[in-house]
Amino acid sequence: MAKIDEIDFQHPSEREFARLLDFYGIPWEYEPRTFPLEYNEDGSLKSAFSPDFYLPEQDLYIELTTQSPRLNHLKNRKIRQLKERYPHIQIKLLNRRDIRNLAFKYDFPDPTEANYQEDHPRDRT
């Protein structure tokens, strides 16, 4: 199991989600794989996607987003592309509401609120 303090998470919600997984003893890996999604005509990589977490016991990737729902179109598109290109890969998107519900249910800090205080650029609407 990875040590939370040794990982440079891209977003505060990822750290809180990792703490929740650790609390329940769920093994996880942080951004362990990048999936190529599109290539240019010359064969060079045009776009790729690295889901935030992999849960090996469930063979499941988890992507978190705390963006405003109206800004999620790019992330939803990448997940759709991943499912089309790699149909055997299981992935779940947890949006802002899902993350807030988890935080409330398990009495963890709401990372979506903390982000606004920190003025995290990925949360601007």
* 51, 58, 122 from 75: Cα distances, Å: 10, 22, 12
Span of 35-49, 55-69, 71-85, 90-104 with lowest mean pLDDT: 90-104
Predicted local confidence at residue 98, as pLDDT = 84
- Is the entire prediction scored with pTM above 0.85? no
95-120 pLDDT, tens digit per residue, is 888 888 877 787 776 666 654 444 44
CATH class entry, domain 4-123 = alpha beta
Return the percentage of the chain with pLDDT > 70, whole number.
Answer: 83
The whole-number pLDDT of residue 125 equals: 39
Domain boundaries, the chain: 4-123
